[in-house]
């Protein structure tokens, strides 16, 4: 039986807490597993709790580049103590949007490289935030494992996509691809073995989604759209994505 994977969703976000049992039941019925990523210490601990509710929840813990005022040493300890219970490390990365000084930049870089080193130490995949920072991330990642690294919500140029493929990154596409021509074009130029799908909930989506927060139940629609773009049947696309997801997750 084929399983779908949401490769990046923030189920620890308050938006989901009142509906969590319902969400998990829906995942069981729809045969979907989810990489539940975190933002900081608080959401990482919440993610670990959620992971105990169902084997369909694949916990990723880490510190988002927006949250580098968090306690890195505490996160190092949290990852080390729970390395047998987590599926990966994330959401980590770089983002100049949150940098206001040279010190901010150095701190963000230090957090990213420290958490990448832990991912390698414990052989865990990483979910990377790369907004406005792809070229810098490419440069840094030449020193790290990219075969189990995901550039989530890929939003680069065709040239940057080719670089990502050359470096063996995975890239993921979400619900916005259903109505965005530029994302459809990028998907069509992505190596088939490196494609993943995600929702990045609770991000809200416009057009056909009417500004609703991303739900795991959106995943089949993303898979269907991808199948049409790549000229595959839905089942063929689902099988391909299952294999890609297992490869990313080292399972």
pLDDT for res 208: 87
Provide CB contacts within 8 A for 178, sequence distance 6+.
207, 208, 221, 222, 225
pLDDT at residue 172, as a whole number: 98
The pLDDT score that the predictor gives to residue 1 is: 87
Tokens 């319902």 belong to residue:
22
CA 144 vs CA 122, 140, 157, 189: distances in Å: 13, 8, 22, 25
What is the pTM (predicted TM-score) of this model? 0.97
Mean pLDDT of 110-121: 98
N-term to C-term CA, the chain: 16
Q: Give the pLDDT confidence of 182-213 residue by residue, as tens digits.
A: 999 999 999 999 999 999 999 999 998 889 89
Share of the chain above pLDDT 90, in %: 98
- Rounded to an integer, the average pLDDT of 164-186 is 97
pLDDT tens string 29-75: 999 999 999 999 999 999 999 999 999 999 999 999 999 999 999 99
The CATH class that applies to domain 4-249 reads alpha beta
Chain centroid to CA 161: 16
Q: Residue range 91-95: average pLDDT?
A: 98
Q: Tens digits of per-residue pLDDT, 223-233?
A: 999 999 999 99
Q: According to the model, what pLDDT value does residue 122 have?
A: 98
Per-domain boundaries in the chain: 4-249
- Across residues 117-129, what is the average pLDDT? 98
């Amino acid at each position: 039986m084929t399983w779908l994977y949401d490769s990046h969703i923030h189920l620890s976000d308050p938006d989901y807490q009142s509906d969590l049992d319902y969400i998990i039941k829906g995942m069981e019925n729809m045969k979907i597993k989810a990489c539940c990523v975190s933002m900081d210490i608080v959401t990482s601990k919440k993610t670990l709790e959620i992971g105990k509710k169902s084997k369909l929840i694949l916990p990723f813990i880490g510190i988002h580049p927006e949250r580098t005022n968090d306690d890195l040493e505490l996160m190092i300890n949290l990852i080390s103590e729970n390395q047998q219970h987590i599926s990966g490390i994330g959401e980590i990365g770089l983002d100049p949007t949150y940098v206001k000084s040279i010190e901010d930049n150095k701190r963000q870089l230090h957090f990213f490289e420290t958490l990448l080193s832990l991912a390698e130490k414990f052989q865990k995949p990483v979910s990377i935030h790369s907004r406005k920072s792809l070229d810098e991330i490419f440069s840094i990642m030449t020193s790290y494992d990219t075969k189990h690294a995901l550039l989530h919500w890929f939003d680069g140029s065709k040239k940057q996509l080719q670089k990502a493929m050359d470096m063996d990154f995975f890239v993921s596409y979400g619900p916005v691809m259903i109505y965005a021509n530029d994302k459809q074009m990028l998907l069509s130029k992505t190596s088939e073995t490196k494609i993943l799908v995600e929702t990045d909930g609770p991000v809200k989506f416009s057009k056909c989604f009417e500004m609703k927060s991303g739900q795991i139940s959106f995943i089949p629609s993303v898979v269907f759209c991808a199948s049409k773009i790549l000229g595959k049947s839905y089942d063929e696309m689902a099988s391909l994505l299952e294999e890609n997801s297992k490869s990313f997750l080292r399972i």
